[in-house]
Amino acid sequence: GRTAALIPAAGSGTRLGRGPKAFVEVGGISLLARSVAALAPLVDEVLVALPAGMDLPPGLPARAVEGGDTRQQSVARLLAATGADVVLVHDAARPFLPGAVVGALLEAVAETGAATVALPVADTLVRGEGGLRVEDVPREDLWAVQTPQAFRRELLLRAHAQARAQGVAATDDAGLVARLGFPVRLVPGDARLFKVTAPGDLALAEALTRVWDA
Ligand code: CTP
Ligand code: MG
């Protein structure tokens, strides 16, 4: 079947404070261009949700749709714009996407219908209250969820329709699919897939380009 990469890139990048985040450059290449370049060779089409009034930079092998007010709405608009059998959703804000991770994710979704990249939590976890450590949280079964995430398109459409009907908001698509009661396979991710969110992440990303682009 056909596979489409859906890239939500319509956020305003408030926490980073450098304007629309997908257009911010590290090592001279925008976060968006890096995500598109990583995915285009591995899928049949790439769709990008952009902030209203913004155009796709020239030369990117992708098709643009206008994003929504939330990430969830942006993904819903991307979903409505493709007829692919499988969709792979990836945040533009995660510019360092190893091809091997995409390969493992696509194998998993072919077997199960729903899969997300995630990293086993490495740090000790505690619950804090009023700035005090009050309780240890065992980390054995805990994963930090990343993107890309991949689904049979019909399944993700159903998950978004139910979320809309119930007024549910989630920070990721696999969360919406899990709410349907559908099992989501966890595919081991990569530390380099961190999301560029705050100014400190930009320094990390800038440093990583020197290895990544070499
Ligand atoms: N996103 C989107 N449409 C929105 C909001 C977010 O397509 N209405 C996208 C962002 O462009 C990003 C991804 O969803 O690629 C993850 O969002 P986040 O890291 O929160 O980015 P921003 O919303 O841009 O940042 P902030 O929350 O700091 O404003
Ligand atoms: Mg946001």
**Ligand nearest 22 Cα, by number?**
1
| Strand runs labelled E in 72-112 | 86-89
> Given ligand 1 and candidates 21, 24, 31, 90, which is best to mutate, with the most ligand atoms within 8 Å of its CB?
21
pLDDT at 1: 87
Q: Give the integer Cα–Cα distance in Å for 78 and 92.
A: 13
CA of 167 to the centre of ligand 2 (A): 18
**Which ligand 1 atom sits closest to the C-alpha of 22?**
11
Q: Give the integer Cα–Cα distance in Å for 26 and 94.
A: 12
pTM of the model: 0.97
Q: How far apart are the first and last CA of the chain?
A: 34
Tell the residue nearest (CA) to atom 23 of ligand 1: 11
**Ligand nearest 20 Cα, by number?**
1
Tell the residue nearest (CA) to atom 13 of ligand 1: 91
Using left for φ > 0, alpha for ψ between -120 and 50, and beta otherwise, residue 142 falls in: beta
CA of 135 to the centre of ligand 1 (A): 32
**Which ligand 1 atom sits closest to the C-alpha of 68?**
8
Ligand 1 neighbours, Cβ below 6 Å, are 8-15, 21-22, 49, 67-71, 74, 91-93, 195, 197
Query: 124-134 pLDDT, tens per residue?
Result: 999 999 999 99
**Ligand nearest 69 Cα, by number?**
1
Query: 37-59 pLDDT, tens per residue?
Result: 999 999 999 999 999 999 999 99
What parts of the chain have a pLDDT lower than 50? none
Evaluated on CA atoms 125, 171, 157, 165, the torsion sign reads positive
CA of 48 to the centre of ligand 1 (A): 12
pLDDT at 39: 98
